[in-house]
Amino acid sequence: MSPFQHVGFVGLGKMGGTIATRMVGNVPKLTVFDTQPAAVARLVDEGAVSAEDLISVASTSDILFLSLPSPAIVRDVARALPKSPSIKIVVDLSTTGPQVAAEVADILAERNLKMVDAPVSGGLAGARTGTLAVMAAAERAVFDQCRTLLATIGKVFFVGERPGLGQTMKLCNNLLSATVLAVSSEAMVMGVKAGLDPQTMLDVINAGSGRNSATQDKFPKSVLPRRFDFGFSTGLMYKDVKLCMEEAERLGVPMYVGPSVRQIWLQACHELGPDSDFTAIVKCIERLAQVEVQGSTPSQART
């Protein structure tokens, strides 16, 4: 069980709501807040307590979790938090980038709050099963206090004491994820256009050196059945790659593949919409190649 008696959670979108649902049975009391009443109602049905506003949840919790969609919103929420005699630690599960994480840590310090920079990876499936990769950066003593609670949502990695190191780890991870999904889409479309069976392609790739997270999980579960429901948006993937490129530039690290990947995801946002599932990126290649990667039989589109 959690060492904290009262846990607060702000941000109940797809990822946050799924993580909070898993927490319900693992903490003595979970109070939640979101600007969308329907999202709060779903958690209340699971056993959580609803808060009227951000101040209410922050003022009554021992520890506060944030799972928010953008760096600007995380910054705004941090600025809105009170100097509460109750809350001592804020755990940010969002992806904001290292510079915003450091800024947020300073804002929280002004309120006598400690920050755990703890972005996660593993998608909705990992959030549901408690198998997320949790990349935590915090003062060691603060991390040790939170480790048991963080372990209820996934495998916890201590990546350093400086706020922002968790974000850097997440951006490196997502650059790789974005790259392999984009290039796997190109390879799969090329094979199908040439007459290969897409399932056979995946079987061969996953038994060989081309194996990656896209060919092992995303294509079999979401692309071939044409569900496009893996649970992460095109817009969020573009945001993460963009943040990664900005950080690489700040650090003076040359990148050549990364900028091309950023451009591919920007185009996907324009073509598919930022709210589309990120596995739908294959549609951008399919449209140009006039072929569809579907089921076990290649389907040629009409010219």
Active site residues per annotation: 170
SS3 141: helix
Cα–Cα distance, 199 to 188 (Å, whole number): 10
List, as one string, the DSSP characters of 201-244: HHHHHHHSTT--HIIIIIIIIIITTT---SS-BHHHHHHHHHHH
DSSP annotation of 111: T
Cα–Cα distance, 172 to 152 (Å, whole number): 24
In terms of Cβ atoms closer than 10 Å to its own Cβ (0-12, 13-18, 19+), residue 243 is buried
Write the CA distances from 177 to 54, 181, 213, 257, 261, integer angstroms: 33, 6, 7, 13, 10
